[in-house]
Structure 1
Amino acid sequence: MTRIVASLVRAQPVPFLLNILRWLLVAIPATWTNSWLSYIQNKLALAYRTRLTREIMQQYLGDDQDKQDLKRFSTHLAALYANVAKPVLDMILYNYQLSQNVGAEGLVLLTIAVQSSAALLRALTPPFGLYTALSAQLSGNLRHTHSRVVEFSEEIAFFGGEHTEKMLVEREYAGLVQHESQVLKKAWWHGCVEEGIIKWLWGSFGLSICAIPIFFKLPGIYKIDLGFITNRRLLLSASDAFGRVMYSYKELAELAGYTARVSELLETMADVRKGKFEKALVSSASTEEHAKVLRGRGIIIESDEIQFENVPIVTPNGDILIRSLSFYVKPGEHLLIVGPNGCGKSSLFRILGGLWPVYGGIVRKPPASQFILIPQRPYLSLGTLRDQVIYPHGKEDMEARGVTDADLLAVLSLVHMDNVVEREGGWEAARDWRESLSGGDQQKIAWARLFYHKPKYAVLDEATSLVPPEMEGMMMDHATRLGITLLTVSHRPSLWKYHSMILQYDGQGGYVFTKLDADKRLALQQEKETLEAKLIEVPKMQARLAELQALRRGEATGKL
């Protein structure tokens, strides 16, 4: 470029055209290099994201916000070279050439002025890294709130809660908009200061340095016009490199924010693996007795049987539902679990499944792989009809077990769902099964899944609430024939006869564990319902008695 300018200033057309040709030849490798750098940067971002995703997915499936944080972190990390290393290298090269033209003294003066103004700019720069992390958190909260509306849209519509849900979504959105507006305002005035310093103040410093050869005749300098043009071009390039370095400060601040988010996720997963549980606790958790329970850790022993010895049932927020639970279930002894809501029925299952920690006592249980959970609203995955029955297995896993589609059809026939294969278009049919199947059919599919896997234990949480009583009995009997021990949460008296043990919570931290005499309990239940019905009639009888007594007193008074 210097030769082109020189030939132009000297009015030499042939050297000018030759220099243009050389410049175009240089453009070929230059454009290839720039495109290659962009390609490598994108490949690096993809590689960072892939490795981080694999590392995290081995420990935690994560949610949409985690994936967005990983994507932004990987993109900003891969852009580190383009944002920092390349501008620094350009700055060194341009400043070296500039020093050859204007002298080292001028470059020292320029460096002092630039460093002073850069320090001022850093002092005036807002904490963009903190703002970035907070923006990611607020965006995640908004997406989570909206996804809940989508997931529970029918329930919300039935309750007429659209105005409440709209208020919640608008509240999250308003918080995000308010934060982004504040950041934009600070970025606006920071941009004004930044451009004023980088473009105009540094430009005036540079022009002053370029004027040195004009006002002070330095030896070894080219013709003044050409030297000024060359120095000005070097100055613009160096200033651009300086500017990119300073602009990269915001990129680094954003990278720091995303790094903090990813680091927090990794540290949290490490704490979980170490058994370190820190969470928001209920106010009663601060008492010494309560805190002592939360500091404790129980012992888990793998066994074919289920036995709890003095195990406290503690919720994630530190609320102790039962201080010491002890019971024993042998294979083949079906256990019925009853009690009011919030007393710890589902909490027991989470401990058996390894989802909650054991804060004390001894737990003997099979590994979590020997349990299958059937909730009131079963989980149906994305995939084919076959996938719903064999979940979490794939077709290859099914075939490796020697199971065919005909075997699956026989399993579906046990729950009177064999017609669904033809109705839905075959085993390969893919649907949103939560929308395609009724609640009762979803529960039947979950039972078919149980019969396919044949685990040692099945956890049934109101798993037959939407199926007819005769189908309920058939499924319970078949599970027993397969050797599956049932742990059932249900308030339906029709299920009592299928269980031999009962664990009854009183809702006040107490419980009773004993053998279940279904006939006797059913007779007592019927007697209780009869007495309750009679008690309901007592106020009416008392009111009628009072009316009759008043009439009798009135007749007696009339006779007198």
Structure 2
Amino acid sequence: MGKRGAFKAFWQLFRGYWNSEHKWKARGLLAFVIGLNFFGVYLLVRLNSWYNEFYNALQQYQADQFWPLVGEFTAIAMLYIVIAVYAIYLRQAVQIKWRTWLTEAYLSRWLEGQVYYRLQVQNSDTDNPDQRISEDINQFVNLSLQLLIGFLKQLTTLAAFGVVLWNLSGAFTMDIGGREIVIYGYMFWFSLFYSGIGTACAHLVGRKLIGLNFDQQRFEADFRFNMMRVRENSESIAFYGGEKAENKGFHERFAKVISNFWQLMKQTKILNFYVNGYAQLAVIVPLILAAPQYFAGGIALGGLMQTVSAFGRVQDALSYFVESYDTIAQLAAVVKRLTAFTEHMEGAEAVEAGIVRQEEGQQLAVEDLQVQLPDSRVLLDDCTLSLPVGSRLLVTGSSGCGKSTLLRTLAGIWPYGKGKLSLKAGSRLLFLPQRPYLPLGSLRRALYYPGTAAGSDEKMQQVLQKVGLEKFVSRLDEIDDWSRILSLGEQQRLAFARVLLAKPDWVFLDEATSALDEPREAEMYQMLAQELPDMGVVSVGHRSTLFAQHQQELRLAGDGTWILKAINE
């Protein structure tokens, strides 16, 4: 990414909040923060003048001026402390508001239209979207404000102290070849030259930090994600006895973290050598430059100290990018990661839904349905069928023939397909995967998922009893990791309870009874038929016992062909 591309990417991320519905409050608060920083610069200028008065009083043994000047310093210092504290406090307030807006925008975009799912289906190389939203956004906001406000403050400092330094440094006369050359404001020009060379050298020394910071965040996130995977699948790993394999994986990922960090350390060491040497040299330079005038009697001790102080302020302002290069490198890496994440989400959003859904007729009808894999291999071709209200269809076929992918297509989350799905107006669909998802929180919340409303205790007790989970009635409001507490069979029965609560017009079961014994499986299907007789059921499964619970069979061959027949044939 070139310099122009990097700035454009930064601007695309930066401008959103400041042009949002909160723009006037946001701009006003930021302007106030910047104003506080400007006032802080004014106090520093006033303090610079104090140096002249104070040290001249010391040189001239004016004891009567000592305490009044100490009192003046105390007043300026106290006011400066208050301004500095509130400048940081209010900047953090801007940071919170900006981060909140940007996080909500990214979360909405990531969740809308199943973008989070499409990124996985399309084999996107976006790694760790959770880190992009939680950490990178926070870093982007923090570093952007830090650099922006710091730059404006240093620019104001340069303007204010540049004038002071120009006036204090006077003229420098050189004799070259018998010709007298006078340089006005020579200390200002030297400071400008010194910082310009310093900034260019800092870029040459530290530019590798951008790529290293980018890789460090990625390797850290991969290492952390691997540990999360072990926690989420602890039981399966324990059954396999896969500790050694997992430990090997940890070491491989952690080795990348350490290897990249060593490179980061070495490059940072080189930059720190340069930055600290540059800063220390800047301490003695103004004394050397002002010494001839001082010893010649051109300026008093107060003037010398004021000149040194002004030179230091100008030097700090001009050296801002030298001192902040590591921060700039971090921001550049964050911008690169967020931009890549944004581009991948845009790519996922641009993919049109594989099936056109429309509300017409009284039946569930599929017309000219085609289902493919990402490599364009056709699993199902030219499938047309109609299912009356209350129909029960069993989808069968060998593993890998596209049964689950067919349900994904009907749900509208699989982009590699086409066709038309017609439904009665207002029809509600519910899809149950083989492993139900249980959100963090109470059992009541897990039971009502994906809904957010909570029913009465009486209603909850009834549905739990009907699916054989009455022992959990007293724990409805208990907050825990229910995916760990409930067995897979209990989780699947809880999913059937969700069907009773949601009362959809059509339910799609993707091997949703695989962990249940055959009598319990029959009991669940019969319960649906009794409680929701008008609800249509489409099931995917391998068990022969499922044929007794359905009216028709759709057998997929996996090569595009298919057969629809009645179960009793």
Q: Distance in 1 between matches of 2:186 and 2:299?
A: 18
Distance 1:355 1:462, change over 3 A: same
Q: Distance in 2 between matches of 1:106 and 1:27?
A: 27
1:489 to 525, 528, 540: 540
Shift of 1:248: 1.7
Aligned length, in residue pairs: 484
Partner of 1:438: 487
Q: Distance in 2 between matches of 1:367 and 1:243?
A: 67
Q: Does 1:320 align with 2:382?
A: no
Distance 1:421 1:276, change over 3 A: closer
Which structure has the larger Rg over C-alpha atoms?
1
Partner of 2:10: none
Partner of 1:22: 72
Q: Distance in 2 between matches of 1:377 and 1:240?
A: 60
- 2:384 corresponds to which letter in structure 1? F
Partner of 2:451: 393
Shift of 1:79: 1.2
User: Conserved in 2, the CA contact under 8 Å of 1:102 and 1:212?
Assistant: no
Q: Does 1:41 align with 2:91?
A: yes
Give CA deviations for 1:509-558 in whole Å, capped at 9, x if unaligned: 1432212324x5xxxxxxxxxxxxxxxxxxxxxxxxxxxxxxxxxxxxxx
Shift of 1:24: 0.7
1:478 to 524, 527, 533: 527
User: Conserved in 2, the CA contact under 8 Å of 1:412 and 1:445?
Assistant: yes
Which secondary structure does the structure 1 equivalent of 2:109 belong to?
Answer: coil
Shift of 1:14: 2.2
Distance 1:42 1:170, change over 3 A: same
User: Conserved in 1, the CA contact under 8 Å of 2:355 and 2:410?
Assistant: no
Shift of 1:164: 1.3
Partner of 1:209: 289
Q: Distance in 1 between matches of 2:234 and 2:337?
A: 31
Partner of 2:244: 163
Q: Does 1:376 align with 2:427?
A: no
Shift of 1:302: 4.2
Distance 1:159 1:72, change over 3 A: same
User: Conserved in 2, the CA contact under 8 Å of 1:464 and 1:472?
Assistant: yes
User: Conserved in 2, the CA contact under 8 Å of 1:310 and 1:326?
Assistant: yes
Partner of 1:498: 549
In the TM superposition, what are the counterparts of 1:497-516 in structure 2 within 5 Å? Answer: 497-507=548-558, 509-516=559-566
TM-score (norm 2): 0.79
Q: Distance in 1 between matches of 2:258 and 2:150?
A: 28
2:164 to 78, 97, 108: 97
Cα RMSD (Å)? 2.6
Give CA deviations for 1:160-207 in whole Å, capped at 9, x if unaligned: 22111111121111111111110110110121122223431x445433
Q: Does 1:275 align with 2:327?
A: no
Partner of 1:251: 327
2:275 to 180, 187, 194: 194
Q: Distance in 2 between matches of 1:229 and 1:91?
A: 18
Which secondary structure does the structure 1 equivalent of 2:507 belong to?
Answer: strand
Partner of 1:292: none
Q: Distance in 1 between matches of 2:272 and 2:426?
A: 56
In the TM superposition, what are the counterparts of 1:8-19 in structure 2 within 5 Å? Answer: 8-19=58-69
Q: Does 1:362 align with 2:420?
A: yes
Q: Distance in 2 between matches of 1:117 and 1:430?
A: 58
Give CA deviations for 1:385-409 in whole Å, capped at 9, x if unaligned: 2222212233xx34xxxx5321222
Shift of 1:124: 2.6
Shift of 1:368: 11
User: Conserved in 2, the CA contact under 8 Å of 1:299 and 1:358?
Assistant: no
TM-score (norm 1): 0.80
Shift of 1:53: 1.0
Distance 1:12 1:314, change over 3 A: farther
Q: Distance in 1 between matches of 2:228 and 2:483?
A: 16
Which secondary structure does the structure 1 equivalent of 2:515 belong to?
Answer: coil
Q: Which segment drifts farther, 66-75 or 243-252? A: 243-252
Which secondary structure does the structure 2 equivalent of 1:356 belong to?
Answer: coil
Shift of 1:305: 4.3
Q: Distance in 2 between matches of 1:319 and 1:367?
A: 33
Give CA deviations for 1:414-450 in whole Å, capped at 9, x if unaligned: 212223213x3xx322222122222222111111111
Shift of 1:504: 1.7
Q: Does 1:419 align with 2:478?
A: no
Distance 1:123 1:385, change over 3 A: closer
Q: Distance in 2 between matches of 1:413 and 1:182?
A: 61
Structure 2 stretches of 5 or more lacking a match?
Answer: 1-49, 117-128, 171-184
Q: Does 1:50 align with 2:130?
A: no
Distance 1:305 1:198, change over 3 A: farther
Q: Distance in 1 between matches of 2:215 and 2:190?
A: 41
Give CA deviations for 1:252-273 in whole Å, capped at 9, x if unaligned: 2211221222222223223322
Distance 1:215 1:113, change over 3 A: farther
Shift of 1:21: 0.5
Which secondary structure does the structure 2 equivalent of 1:59 belong to?
Answer: helix
Q: Distance in 2 between matches of 1:139 and 1:368?
A: 47
Q: Which segment drifts farther, 318-327 or 371-380? A: 318-327
- 1:197 corresponds to which letter in structure 2? Y
